[in-house]
Structure 1
Amino acid sequence: MNSGFNLRNDVPVGNTMRVNACADQFLQIDHIERALANPRLREEWLADPQTLVVGGGSNILFVTDRIDKAVAIKAADHGFVDEGETVLVFAEAGLGLDDWVRLTAEQGLYGLERLAEIPGTVGAAPIQNVGAYGMQLSDVLDSVELWDRQKQAPLRWSAEQCQLSYRNSRFKSEPNRWLVLRVWVRLHKRPPADWPNFAYPGLVDEAEAYSKSEKKPISSLVASDMAEIVTRVRRKKLPDWRQWLPGSLGSFFHNPIVSKQHANKLKANWPDVPLYALDDPDSVKLSAGWLIEQAGWRGRLFGAAGVYDRHALVLINRGGADGKQLLQLAEAIEADVWKHFAVRLKTEPMIV
């Protein structure tokens, strides 16, 4: 019987920034239940806090050439439970997030379509609480199946237990403990009441162009149409993560959250600064890309490293940049934004 996993030595751990590190030992999980039934895997690998869990490599910047042990789930099964007006849909951690989005949208289910074209795996999605164009995974998340690496036991958390917030979760506050196995979301067979909502910048123009080219009225667009519109917008302003170069990790910085008082000061000095309201009336979200661009960083190159000329929030590797160079560039941007706006940026990728 197949063990459900594959163990190899000296394996390059790639990522979409195209800055690799070599894992002395690399464990690939191809079947979740069979692999977790192996005591050696549980005790020598998953219970070791030094074992690095990697997914699609779209949110890791390596500043080291070698790591000791790495594990990745490649199991990618998916399915659903029909519950009438809604459908509970699951995917194993190794399935590509973009693949899952398109599968559900093509099945006529609403809820994930605005996450189209985001790289990475399903397993990484709740850790970051990935989001785009007005929605986050937390909007549709039902539950997450996990492996507790400390207690060596499976469990299933509700969405509330995951403590998801803007680009954050309980998983990030308790690093090296949780291994995401499967993610469950609740999707809808009918579009939401505000469908289609193109309030987010960039969507409305692309939707109109799409409607015209496809000869399809905007009022008749479905989930798969929205996924395609989002895809076209993202490809115009972000590097294609499927191509080798330029390498990138997508948005390199979180959009910062500041006090409303500080936001008002910024507005007085820079009237066109974008401000986004939050549930907390005393806080405001800013656009990190706008701050970086106003500080003069968009399109600047530093050898093989640089800031993407189409989007200031994206750092790129043009070929040959290492993790240290990219981290130094990020730190220089952070310092300059602080100097100009007294706003602290926080990097989004994991720095290893």
Structure 2
Amino acid sequence: MALTSKNSRNNKLKTHLAILQARAIHAKTSEDISVISKLIQEYSAKHQYSHNNSLLWLSLAIAGLVGGLSYWQQLHITQDTRFYMQVLSAITGCLTLILFYMRYAEIKRVGDAVYIRSVAINAGVVRDYQFDGRSYWKQLSGMFSLFNTGDESQTITTRYLGGMPGDEHQGPTPYTLFEFKYVRVTRSTNSKGGTRTSRSTHYKYGMLVQFSDFNFLSINVNRFPNKWDSSSRAFNKRFKVRCASEIQAAKFFDPKAVLAFVDEFSFIKSMDVTPSSVVCFELPKEIFPSKVKTPSLTNTTTFINSLETPHKLPALEQAQKLIAFINQNK
């Protein structure tokens, strides 16, 4: 009866976490987050956000006991038996610790998903699950040099969709946040002629923006044949401007724009454009909702309060200001 009760507790938690995960994936408004918050509150009033680990603790204790007995010299057993006891103890202990971690990780993963979705909604972006990361990378690699790097496993792992509202002069400006992953492969030869291969995984973050009539200059990218310098040494050190026409570049980068880029938009790593005015900005990873520090679901009071007032994304807010600035000055 007690065992059934313990299993029931774990099954209830598993079912509840699955519901929260599904709700997080489909949440698009603050009202959806409020529904999730209410579910968490109702569940925490009756249950804890922790598994019943009695069997795991018992398994760990038995593993420790068996391991300890294998070293007890007064126990008259063969060396082979001692060895097998030690192996069994080590395997059981490791598997038990792995199960402990998996249960902890499951609760953390769901809590992170819920909170990150709240941060994204508060920032005005929604995660898009309806795309093929490899195909999308191939499409972008034909448009921007940023994506032509790495030796293998290039893919867009995550993207968020957002947009800037329009006015009577300018229509809405859609944008996409992306996380680009790639792997570099390094091969070296030792003195005996053997080859060693090492792989390192890297990420780049940025924003794709659909402007109108903004396709004549790039920053820190060799898109155009002409180079343009401002009268500001700080600007020229940070931004290498290439342009189709120096007149167009000078018109956009008037003294006000130069000052704004130095003081407010220095976080831009690069900016590339296509003839159809799709702009790719490489930006710091802090623009991404998933890069915030997440609270623990096990502390439900703090977690619920955090859902109601999630972290802001200052880097994304600055990127949105950049979009508005370009729309006003192009």
**What's the TM-score, normalizing by structure 2?**
0.26
Structure label with greater radius of gyration: 2
Larger relative strand fraction? 1
